[in-house]
Amino acid sequence: MGRKLFFFILLAAWMWMCTGCSNKEKHYVIGVSQCSDDIWREKQNAELRMGNYFHNNVELRFAAADDSDKRQIEQIDSLVACGIDLLIVAPNQVATISPAIDRAYDSGIPVIVFERKTNSRKYTAFMSADNYAMGRQMGEYIAKRLNGSGRVLEVAGLKGSSPAIERHKGFEDVLKQYPGVTVIATLQGDWTEDTGYDIVKKWKEENPDVTVDLVFGMNDRSAIGARRAFLEAGDSRPLYCGIDGLPGENGGIRLVNDSVLDASFIYPTNGDLVLQLAVDILEGRPYKKETLMTSAMVTHDNARVLLMQTEETMRQEENLDRLHEMANAYLKKLDTQRALTWTAFGGFVLLIAVMVLFYLYKLGKSTLRRERMVNSLWELKSEELPAPESAGADNAPTSESASGQSGAVSSVFFTRFKDVVEARLEDSELSVEDLASEMNLSRVQLYRKVKAVTGASPVEILRTARLKRGYQLLLTTDLSISEVAYKVGFTAPGYFTKCFKEEYGILPGDVRTGNC
């Protein structure tokens, strides 16, 4: 019984633990390898984090290479070595980073190439705006802005990066239709404002008399750097166009609205969409291998509206962030409360289990002790019987010196009682009253005396004697179990079997088959 209960408690504890872990989703780690660390990347990372709110089972690991090929290669290799489930990568340059991306892909990790290209087909999905088309549209705009005639200085992006190559190509191609628009120089930048400033400053120093009508920076930061150099040189003639069109304080939309830039181009960051694509891939849902993101020009005509809308969106994003933080704090509190409740409940269950086991142990021990006592008393010779324990027994000794005498009295009494019981074992009608009258005692007197001498009641003694005789008959005769049962005063063989099992822990049949 005790063992069964113990196993039941173990099972309950196991089920309890399982309910805690069964509804756990698969956990994914996504590595994000950014080539740079600037406001465009910051915005994208923030969107990735925001997208992460909807995917609790996803962990994002960010790495930013600060425009260094070497660092990005190391970072990709180390992300892969740390065991990411998917890689999102914006490669610094096409050729340099491709081998590291190939290695990641070959190791079995899905790879999303984002916004900048590699020169390999080893990727799972690619997502970007059309940089060639953006170059073309910017060329169209500039040609029209200059009324088909003017001198343009181009500040290119990092040489080996795909947006720089494609934006330049688009720009160059479209300007072929506008012979009046001359690109007087294409300076090699690297997407940063400082380099934009440095190269333009140098160029200005080398070409102090060359007039420039418009500077096309391949991103807004390059255009701003170039503008700084022109203004420092006291030249306020050129207009400035860039690409990125970010919202926010230093973003292209405000710069166009404030006439710092003449035009920009929204180069979408779409971090939340990249994350959704990643999760779709990881969870085996259908996805598009190539996704083209939409982009749009920012000019004086739409900058004000765009500014209002993006500011509104940013405010709502902040609200969402705050809401998320509040929900997180609330969930944490709830988790702590739940853990406390479960701990208290677990403690309570454990306490109950310990108490039940202790009770069963005590019960088992006292029953065993009594059974052993009755059994051994039955085996004892009359002279060896103990002195009566209870003062309530008739003929109880009145002083310690009388104990030897009372021991003798007890032994005589018990020998007589044993004889009476054994003589009438077969009698299923035998009652305690019958035994008492044979002993010339009242029922109560008999009970007290027997209890005092043996610690057990006359009924228990009778039952033990019957079973003991039954055991002997099973061992020494060919009587059937039913016949044995009747012979030792049981009226139902089934009840005999039950009592036998309780007394000896085995079935009567086991005595015969030698199973005991």
Contact map string, positions 109 to 138, toward ligand FRU, x by CB under 6 A? ------xx----------------------
Write out the DSSP string of 48-99: HHHHHTT-TTEEEEEEE-TT-HHHHHHHHHHHHHTT-SEEEE--SSHHHHHH
Q: How many residues does the chain have?
A: 516
- Residue 41 lies near ligand FRU (rule: CB under 6 A): yes
Options 48, 215, 243, 488; binder of ligand FRU; rule CB under 6 A:
243
CA distance 77 to 33: 10
Sole window of 37-45, 168-176, 420-428, 477-485 interacting with ligand FRU (rule: CB under 6 A): 37-45
> Considering beta carbons, is residue 219 or 411 the nearer one to ligand FRU?
219
**CB-facing half-sphere around the CA of 64: CA atoms within 13 A:** 10
> Does 168 interact with ligand FRU (rule: CB under 6 A)?
no
Contact indicator for 91, 118 with CB cutoff of 8 Å: yes
Number of amino acids touching ligand FRU (CB under 6 A): 15
Q: Which residues contact 43 (CB under 8 A, 6 or more apart)?
A: 246, 247, 248, 269, 271
What is the spatial distance between Cα 233 and Cα 228, in angstroms, rounded to a whole number? 9
Binding to ligand FRU by residue 490, rule CB under 6 A?
no
> In angstroms, what is the minimal distance from the CB of 278 to ligand FRU?
19
Residue (141 or 496) nearer to ligand FRU, CB: 141
Closest CB 44 distance from ligand FRU, rounded Å: 8
CB of 286 to ligand FRU, least distance (A): 28
Backbone angles phi, psi at 416, to 5 degrees: -65, -45
69 binds ligand FRU (CB under 6 A): no
Shortest Å distance, C-beta 245 to ligand FRU = 10
- Give me 448's structure tokens: 């007290």
- Distance CA(416)–CA(407), nearest Å, equals 14
Nearer to ligand FRU, 115 or 154 (CB): 115
Q: For ligand FRU, which residue of 47, 193, 244, 272 counts as binding (CB under 6 A)?
A: 244
Which of these segments, 19-27, 33-41, 70-78, 279-287, binds ligand FRU (CB under 6 A)?
33-41
Phi, psi (rounded to 5 degrees) for 62: -95, 145
Quick one: 226 or 485, whose CB is closer to ligand FRU?
Answer: 226
Binds ligand FRU by CB under 6 A, chosen from 267, 414, 447, 490: 267
Q: Burial code of 264-300, b = ≥16 C-beta within 10 A, e = fewer?
A: bbbbbbbbbbbbbbbbebbeeeebeeebebebebbbe
Quick one: which segment of 34-42, 269-277, 320-328, 380-388 binds ligand FRU (CB under 6 A)? 34-42
Lookup: tokens for 453:
């001498």
Any residues with CB less than 8 A from the CB of 495 and at least 6 apart, and which?
485
Interface with ligand FRU in residues 368-397 (CB under 6 A)? none
Q: How do beta strands 125-129 and 150-156 pair?
A: unpaired
Residue 265 or 417 having the CB closest to ligand FRU: 265
Tell the smallest beta-carbon distance from residue 303 to ligand FRU (Å).
18
Among 28, 40, 197, 240, contact with ligand FRU (rule: CB under 6 A): 40
Interface pattern 177-196 for ligand FRU (x via CB under 6 A): --------------x-----
Which residue, 41 or 463, has its beta carbon nearer to ligand FRU?
41
Distance CA 167, CA 139 (A): 10
**Is residue 228 within 8 Å of 206, Cβ to Cβ?**
no
- Which residue has 């190509």 as its token pair? 169
Residues that bind ligand FRU (CB under 6 A): 36, 38, 40-41, 115-116, 157, 161, 163, 191, 219, 221, 243-244, 267
